[in-house]
A and B are shown apart, each in its own frame.
Chain A
Amino acid sequence: MSKFRENISKYIFLALAFSSISALALITIFIIINGIPIIAEVGVLNFIFGMSWAPSHGEFGIFPMIIGSVTVTLGAALLGVPIGICCAVFLTEFAPQTISRIFRPAIQLLAGIPSVVYGFWGLLFIVPMIRNWFGGPGLSILAGSIILAIMVLPTVISITEVSILALPRNYKEGALALGLTHWQTIYSVILPSAKSGIVAAVILGIGRAIGETMAVIMVLGNAVAIPESILDPVRTLTTNIGIEMGYAAGTHRQALFATGIVLFIIIMILNATAQYVTRKKK
């Protein structure tokens, strides 16, 4: 009797586990089936490196959007990563318990704000500020980078923090017992030892930034062109899909799915790198 119940529960869990994996499989297959024909028709190189995106004229080049995604994400990383790492070091090394007890949930709360709210706030606050201070339309790479930098903070901070806290306590004590100051201990022992975790934090943060759609649609300006400065508007791979999905049909729609494939591959590479880096440590 109890063996029967053991088996039943085992198969129920198995079925539920499969359902989550099969969702991934279904989505992947669906995107590939819908996107591959147009890539085959246009050619991989023409699709990826094509400069012109005019679906109604049969031109499907997504290079400006790849540039858009890369620049905005890079900007977000440059702004967000140093802040995130410093914040994690502060929380683990300097902050008294009372402060870290307030900070930690507050940072987690950042992750809970809907992305559309970030976008709305960026549109009403960041965009006019850039327009007034630096000129240009305000809708720009810079605006998108600032918004995304804030959005990746929870990821970068919490993973960095966990990897610092996971270090053996005697690392720090060994360094302090050598007569190193607290700050010397942090930059010569703690940060190098937690390096692989920090790299993973950065990569996962970048993955989150490159996949974000709603917030950046509202602040990037969405022009399909190679930008000349960080004050120029751009369109990213994600916003391309988000903007045009509503009315696209036929080859146009296929091209959007193909954009999705490119995005999918980029994010898979990022995640695989993050996993590789963290696993190498052991």
Chain B
Amino acid sequence: MQDQYKINIRDMSFFIEKKQIIYDLNLDIRTNEILSIFGPAGSGITTLLRALNRLNELIPGARIEGDILLDGKSVYRKEVVLTELRRKIGMVFDVPTPLPMSIFDNIAYGARLKGEKNKKVLSDIVERALKEAALWDEVKNRLKTSALALSGGQQQRLCIARVLALEPEVILLDRPCSGLDPISTAKIEDSLTQLKERFTIILAPHNLQQAGRVSDYVAFMLMGELIETGKNDDIFANPKDQRTSDYITGRFG
């Protein structure tokens, strides 16, 4: 059973200074599935995602207890190289973060850092990543123009393409559609469902409907605690915990 899990989170607690953000959390994440972690704002979902690629370490006073295993090995081991870890676990943020350079360079950047110089290989990588992120048709004639000139939805798909080009194993998406219109959102959700064949995807959806549409598994977090987790249909159809049921039916949150 163990080998079909990509990530195991073990008794994890997270603190900033003396404030506890996440309480004793255990969660196993399956390979090649989409897991949606939902809950009201301030539940620690973003913190949880950022603990996986160790981005939380930028926060002064941040401290973690417990452990997070990627393929059975702790990501907090001493010998882990941060830059390699972050290429394995790619992340897309709630606000699109294109780099101040051309569309092509944005996506080729990661591959170039790995030492890839061959132009043919690079443009293949860029084309494939853009196609997977459902952006290729819109930008194929202007790859050399600045990425900052794209619309918000296009910028976000560019960010997804950029993560895909790194050939990660896990993709974290932190409310990737929060600022986007329904059509852009639909495009991103479509590409997510195709991408799960190659990647393990962890999504913080921007609403329950999105969680329902794209996820295989869902997890409900409240005030830094994992309340309940299970298959998408099970949780939404008959939640076991009263708080989950209250949240899903809109009684609070």
Main secondary structure of the interface of A (DSSP, over half): helix
- Which of B60, B86, B101 makes the CB contact (< 8 A) with A177? B86
Cβ-closest chain A residue relative to B162: A178
Measured CB to CB, the residues of A under 8 A from B are 97, 168, 170-171, 173-181, 184, 188-189, 192-193
Task: Verify B100–A174 contact, CB threshold 8 A.
Answer: no
23 pairs from A and B in contact (CB 8 Å cutoff): A168-B95, A168-B97, A170-B93, A170-B95, A173-B55, A173-B58, A174-B93, A174-B97, A175-B99, A176-B55, A176-B86, A177-B53, A177-B93, A178-B90, A178-B109, A178-B166, A179-B83, A179-B84, A179-B85, A179-B86, A179-B113, A180-B113, A193-B100
Task: Verify A179–B99 contact, CB threshold 8 A.
Answer: no
Given A171-B99, A174-B99: 6 more A-B contacts, CB < 8 Å = A170-B97, A177-B55, A178-B86, A179-B83, A179-B166, A192-B101
Task: Verify A173–B93 contact, CB threshold 8 A.
Answer: yes
- Which of A97, A174, A176 makes the CB contact (< 8 A) with B159? A174
Contacts of B95 in A (CB 8 A): 168, 170
Contacts of B109 in A (CB 8 A): 178, 188
Count of CB-CB pairs between chains A and B under 8 Å? 55
Task: Verify B97–A173 contact, CB threshold 8 A.
Answer: yes
- How far is the CB of B7 from the nearest CB of chain A, in Å? 16
Main secondary structure of the interface of B (DSSP, over half): helix
Complex CA gap A179/B114 in Å reads 10
Contacts of A170 in B (CB 8 A): 93, 95, 97
Complex CA gap A189/B101 in Å reads 9
B239 within 8 A of A: no
- Which of A181, A189, A192 makes the CB contact (< 8 A) with B83? A181
Scan B160-193; emit 1 where CB is below 8 A from any A CB, else 0: 0011001000000000000000000000000000
- Which of A168, A171, A184 makes the CB contact (< 8 A) with B113? A184
Scan B99-111; emit 1 where CB is below 8 A from any A CB, else 0: 1110000000110
- How far is the CB of A91 from the nearest CB of chain B, in Å? 15
Complex CA gap A29/B95 in Å reads 51
- How far is the CB of B164 from the nearest CB of chain A, in Å? 12
Contacts of A184 in B (CB 8 A): 113
Cβ-closest chain B residue relative to A190: B100
The CB with the most chain B CB atoms within 10 A, among A97, A168, A179, A181, is that of A179
The CB with the most chain B CB atoms within 10 A, among A170, A177, A188, is that of A177
Task: Verify A177–B91 contact, CB threshold 8 A.
Answer: yes
- How far is the CB of A268 from the nearest CB of chain B, in Å? 30
B6 within 8 A of A: no
Complex CA gap A211/B101 in Å reads 37
Contacts of B101 in A (CB 8 A): 188, 192
- How far is the CB of B81 from the nearest CB of chain A, in Å? 9
Complex CA gap A212/B84 in Å reads 51
